[in-house]
Amino acid sequence: MRRLVLPAVALVLTACGGQRAAFVGIGGDGPRTAAGLSPPALAVTHPADGTAAGYLFLAEKGGKDAPGGPVIADDRGRIVWYHQVPHGLEATDFRVQTYRGRPVLTWWQGTISHAGVGQGEYEIYDAAYRHVRTLRAAHGLAGDLHEFQLTPRGTAFISVYHAVPADLTSVGGPDHGWVYDSIVQELDVATGRLVFEWHSLAHVPLAESLQAGNEPARHASKERPFDYFHVNSVADAPGGDVLVSGRNTSAIYRIARDGHVVWRLGGRASDFGPPAAVKFRFQHNARLQPDGTLSLFDNGAIPKVEPYSRPIVLRLDEAARRAKIVESFVHPQKISSPFEGNLQLLPDGGALVGWGGVPKVTEFTQDGGVRFELRLPFGDTYRGYRLPWHGDPGGRPAIAASGDRVWASWNGKTGIARWEVLSGVDRRHLTRVSSAAWAGLETAIDLRARRRYVAVRAVDAAGRTLGVSAALAR
């Protein structure tokens, strides 16, 4: 359950760029040093044991009645950074990517229909949590939630769903029906200029859909278009080609720059065998790895045709058109994810899995054992990642005080090990009176002395000062 935001009760001081500002904090269980924020309560259900380096990156969905947004957390579920998106919007696919040689934070935000189609835009922030760019789909279309993949060329792949009229009699639908054209766009990030565009309807027949002849094809309308393809991941492939995943065809496509399909893996028209090796259903997050393998999240659910979901890695022999599974990361509880999900292969041979419609992320060892798991309080993960990150929001820490307690925070500042409370009779003569280990987005510290002024000091594991808040008059 989300934390309740109650009326303001505490004065807070913070500073940015050397300027001091005062604002009202939040009472109850909400953070007192960050007015209006309602961060999720993350629960670690399997303690970390030998996990890979880096933080966890999740996009906590909110929805109509609850806020959500991108979250950076550590192995104890403590939040390092939380960015709450505007009311009524949701965020997906939050992660670290590289733009112009530097690490940046990226995510999609917008609204999501009941059919799982997004309408929104794509955000890029730098390591100081400053807005770098908002990217929008070309031709006035709405950017979909499923993909925002930066490339080394300074471009980005995005997904778009565009409802168009179509004759659907070939798949058991009306002759004046409607269908979603799944569109892939590659955009220049700096200018927003369209670099490449691919339309599923121009290259993949309606009959390849596993829903052909069934609902919703039979009664497709403008209000409920036939989502025959459902693009859900896009990435670079060798030779300038593009790798595209279609959920509702249960196939992965290698696309040439002229738009033609180089090969299909899976689905009703697979170019690869043997059939048993490439049988996956409703997959997500297809990625070609540097060693030539292909990773994906095999859902196998809605409709449920497999006993459980399988994050898998396949070895492809493109010349012989053969494929076989070489790795699989199966949860001990045999989780069946109804939708979404991702598989991130980690440098040490392990893997991080976001379970999509099941609000969990699990980290596996190389041999498939669980070495960490975290649960979100609401919604789904879509994708989850473990990635290195160093963030510095600048400015100074925030402080709030009430009675015999002080609260400290510095949203996004990495490397804080402890908070120290400084107190004194005036702002120029403050001494350390108390301390506490960093506890996440906000840390509560009991006072051991009651003097007129208090401040908080952030220190790292070596005892070095990272920053000191403004002094608060009590």
Our count of domains for the chain comes to 2
Residues 89 and 204 in one domain: yes
Distance of CA 355 to the CA centre of its chain: 12
Q: Which domain holds residue 15?
A: 5-31+400-473
Question: Which of 387, 412, 438 delimits the end of a domain?
Answer: 387
Kind and range of the H or E run holding 202:
helix 200-203
- Residue pair 18/470 in contact by the 8 Å Cβ criterion: no
The predicted structure's pLDDT at residue 243 = 98
Q: Which residue is associated with the tokens 């007015």? A: 35
> Each residue's pLDDT tens digit in the chain (474 positions)?
332 222 233 334 433 333 222 222 233 456 899 888 999 999 999 999 999 999 999 998 875 677 899 999 999 999 999 999 998 999 999 999 999 999 999 999 999 998 899 999 999 999 999 999 999 999 999 999 999 999 999 999 999 999 999 999 999 999 999 999 999 999 999 999 999 999 999 999 999 999 999 988 999 999 999 999 999 999 999 999 999 999 999 999 999 999 999 999 999 999 998 777 778 999 999 999 999 999 999 999 999 999 999 999 999 999 999 999 999 999 999 999 999 999 999 999 999 999 999 999 999 999 999 999 999 998 888 999 999 999 999 999 999 999 899 999 999 999 999 999 999 999 999 999 999 999 999 999 998 777 899 999 999 999 999 999 999 998
Determine the Cα–Cα distance for residues 354 and 364; give it in Å rounded to an integer: 11
Q: Does residue 135 lie within any of the structural domains?
A: yes
Q: What is the CATH number of the domain that holds 259?
A: 2.120.10.80
Residues 275 and 407 in one domain: no
The predicted structure's pLDDT at residue 30 = 64
The predicted structure's pLDDT at residue 367 = 95
Residues 203 and 270 in one domain: yes
Q: What is the CATH number of the domain that holds 25?
A: 2.60.40
Kind and range of the H or E run holding 200:
helix 200-203
Residues 291 and 235 in one domain: yes
Question: Which of 387, 421, 446 delimits the end of a domain?
Answer: 387
Q: Does residue 38 lie within any of the structural domains?
A: no
Q: Does residue 395 lie within any of the structural domains?
A: no
Q: Does residue 256 lie within any of the structural domains?
A: yes
Residues 300 and 229 in one domain: yes
Residues 81 and 164 in one domain: yes
Residues 316 and 365 in one domain: yes
The predicted structure's pLDDT at residue 64 = 63
The predicted structure's pLDDT at residue 233 = 98
Residues 196 and 292 in one domain: yes
Residues 89 and 184 in one domain: yes
The predicted structure's pLDDT at residue 25 = 29
Residues 406 and 266 in one domain: no
Instruction: Classify burial at 368, counting beta carbons within 10 Å of its beta carbon; exposed 0-12, middle 13-18, buried 19 or more.
Output: middle
Q: Does residue 291 lie within any of the structural domains?
A: yes
The predicted structure's pLDDT at residue 61 = 84
Is 169 in a helix, a strand, or coil? Answer: helix
The predicted structure's pLDDT at residue 140 = 97
- Residue pair 129/393 in contact by the 8 Å Cβ criterion: yes
Question: Which of 334, 363, 387 delimits the end of a domain?
Answer: 387
Side chain identity, residue 369:
G
Residues 23 and 135 in one domain: no
Residues 351 and 414 in one domain: no
Is 344 in a helix, a strand, or coil? Answer: strand
Q: Does residue 394 lie within any of the structural domains?
A: no
Q: Which residue is associated with the tokens 């109509």? A: 64
